[in-house]
Chain A
Amino acid sequence: MDRLLTVTGLSTEFRTERGIVKAVNNISYTVNESEIVGLVGESGCGKSVSQLSVMQLIPNPPGRIVAGSVDFDGTDLLQYKRESNEMCAIRGRYISMIFQEPMTSLNPALTICRQMTEVMIEHLGTEYKEAREKSIDMLDQVGIPDAAKRIDDYPHQFSGGMRQRVMVAMAMLCNPKMIIADEATTALDATIQAQLLELLYGMVDKYKTALVMVTHNLGVVARYVNRINVMYAGSIVESGTVNEIWANPMHPYTEGLLSCVPRLGEKLVPIKGMPPSLVNRPDTCPFAARCRYRQKQCFEQPVSELTLVEGTHYSACAVKLEGKV
């Protein structure tokens, strides 16, 4: 498999009245062609901001990408300005994004047809008629019944699940190389969520598209994802294949996350305390205060980089890596 995306040392900050918020702090990860990567973490851990940084959708000010490089298919995306033509030519064409709330990401004043054909006319220079036909075909593929008629409807005429299907169709229109799904199924009901996940994975499989699945739900990633990156307080703390991480979680946060999901017949072990504030955060381990394996060194030394455990499994917990627990 060829490397599609290489993110190296990406850091994004927000300047606020209370100080500098390091929302994303020196993260590195890769995505291969037609690979499904999961990015897991709690709210406020920087998972969305990291993806918006890759797409250069961070509002500036207050946000700023302060360091790092985003190599997408051989070009460094960060060399382009946010509003530059180059960046606009990539968004929606080579990298598409699906957001959590479909009602706010679709324009309520325009028909689905207008919004879908616009993508193709803008990026591929397709004629309107052809664009409309392709859009209908795509809506059909995502399972919208009577697509030829429904395409002239407005977003409010669709249910939540159907709207998210429209978003999937729209993201697939230009046959992008990568899709970023930012909590794409979180706002939906259980049975609709299952439908949509199945659809999304079916589509990326069919078109050989890479998928970055941003979620807080470990269950969502367990079934479909090849690799997982676990984020905590702006950093990736553990990375590996699904099996590597489940069999042997090497970061205490991942371990805690796995044990605090209710399962049949098992006692819940919650993680104590709460995530730290990201304002003026120190460079020691951000999880130390909540960690059950913490030692003196965790509060004194700077947090360790992602270190190889074995195979493709990396962890940022020095204590567990050194085998002190």
Chain B
Amino acid sequence: MSETTTVKSENIVDIQNLKMYFPVRRGLLRKKIGDVKALDNVSISIKPGETLGLVGESGCGKTTMGRCILRLYKPTEGNIIFQGDDISNYTDHDLRHTRRDMAIIFQDPYSSLNPRKNSGTIVGEPLLIHNLTKSRKEYEDRVAELFIMSGLSPDMTDRYPHEFSGGQRQRLSVARALAGDPSLIVCDEPISALDVSMQAQILNLLQELQVKRGKLSYLFISHDLMAVQYISHRIAVMYLGKIVEMSASADLYANTLHPYSQALLSAQPVPDPVVEATRKRIILTGDVPTPLNPPSGCSFHPRCFMAKPECSVETPQLRDVGNGHLVACHCV
């Protein structure tokens, strides 16, 4: 049993200097040859009822971050304070109770729903695990309620996942996430696998639920900047395991400071020919470097169009440039 430190905070989640290193082993003796620094000294917080958007390219550590918050991974270093309790050293047994208040929606609604269980069982399972209902009747009513909340018909509870379309399956994931009445839902690319017209439906559903429920917070992980901007109050941009810029949603788009955020924003095609005809684009050269051996100094400097000599030497720290707009860059 680990000791429980209670920290006073009004935030749902406070992450302090979180590090998550995955060892890389090679050879017959599985000798450790290095670490993949999936998260390197990251600090974020989420307030009740807030949506924090997490943007970045694949391999930048956004999913690792989501999984660390839910303690699906045990972080290498740093603290995860969830509703005032430091859960970074909790055992599985301790976590069981805490996990009622957190949920996750995965990217792929095809692999994240058990094909052998019917949809009612999938959605109702958290209720049984956490003993949230007293009678069969109450259980069934609650499942029906969750179905309606997520925009599904309650008479679909007997159907199996394969009988649903992609968008409906993602609604099932939402219903399941809501079952424990959580205060935080980690949405890990919940719309990337869906068609455009379905994406809009799920985005609106998530937003409506937040408005209705009041104190529900989301960590919304996505590589689609436009979707993130639509749903988030604040946005953090990640690059190679570090947060490079974080600010209020509107501020980030109106006043993009970090060169990587600028490039990311400009790489996003705008579905409007009039805007596109005049828009200047920043095309980055090269690929995202491997997190096994990130570049020295600012890890973005080899691809950066603003890089100065000092960028390859000194790692820039996140600093506040006013109104809670944080940026980690020497050139800003």
Q: Using a CB–CB distance below 8 Å, which chain A residues touch chain B? A: 42-43, 159, 161-162, 189-195, 197-198, 216-220, 222-223, 242-243, 246, 256-258, 260-264, 268-272, 274-275
Contacts and interface: CB of A to CB of B under 8 A. Distances in A.
Given A193-B267, A217-B196, 10 more contacts: A162-B287, A198-B281, A222-B269, A242-B273, A246-B272, A263-B272, A270-B200, A272-B201, A274-B167, A275-B195
Contact of A260 (B199, B264, B266, B268): B199
Interface string B169-193: 0000000000000000000000000
Contact of A222 (B57, B271, B285): B271
Given A268-B200, A269-B200, A194 B281 contact: yes
Given A222-B273, A262-B227, A195 B288 contact: no
Contacts of B272: 222, 246, 263
Nearest to A270: B200
Nearest to B277: A223
Nearest to B231: A262
A161 B200 contact: no
B204 interface: yes
B114 interface: no
B263 A191 contact: yes
B204 A243 contact: no
B57 A190 contact: yes
A43 B200 contact: no
B317 interface: no
Contacts of A193: 267
A257 B198 CA distance: 10
Interface string B193-226: 0011111110110000000000000000001011
Nearest to B250: A265
B29 interface: no
16 contacts: A189-B57, A189-B288, A190-B267, A191-B264, A191-B267, A192-B57, A193-B267, A194-B267, A194-B281, A195-B284, A222-B276, A258-B271, A261-B226, A262-B203, A270-B197, A270-B200
A268 B201 CA distance: 9
A70 B52 CA distance: 51
Contacts of A222: 269-273, 275-276
B91 interface: no
B28 interface: no
A274 B198 contact: yes
Nearest to A199: B283
Interface residues on B, range: 35 or more
A263 B200 CA distance: 11
Nearest to A185: B269
Contacts of B273: 222-223, 242-243, 246
B201 A190 contact: no
Contacts of B266: 194
Contact of B195 (A42, A194, A264): A42
Contacts of A257: 196-197
Contacts of A218: 196, 271
Contacts of B264: 190-191
B4 interface: no
B182 to A, nearest CB: 24
Contacts of B33: none
B234 to A, nearest CB: 16
A261 B285 CA distance: 28
A153 B179 CA distance: 51
Contact of A195 (B253, B269, B271, B283): B283
Nearest to A45: B195
B58 interface: yes
B270 A219 contact: yes
A216 B191 CA distance: 14
Contacts of A274: 165, 167-168, 197-198
B287 A271 contact: no
B193 to A, nearest CB: 10
Nearest to B275: A222
Contact of A268 (B230, B271, B284, B288): B230
A131 to B, nearest CB: 28
A191 B266 CA distance: 8
Contacts of B203: 262, 268, 270
B321 to A, nearest CB: 22
A161 B287 contact: yes
Nearest to B265: A190
A274 B271 CA distance: 22
B229 interface: yes
Q: Which 9 A-B pairs have the closest CB atoms?
A: A219-B269, A270-B200, A194-B267, A260-B200, A218-B271, A262-B230, A189-B57, A271-B197, A223-B276
B109 to A, nearest CB: 13
A190 B268 contact: yes
Contact of B229 (A194, A197, A256, A264): A264
Contacts of B283: 191, 194-195, 198
A219 B273 CA distance: 9
Contacts of A242: 273
B194 to A, nearest CB: 9
B274 interface: yes
A190 B223 contact: yes
A271 to B, nearest CB: 4
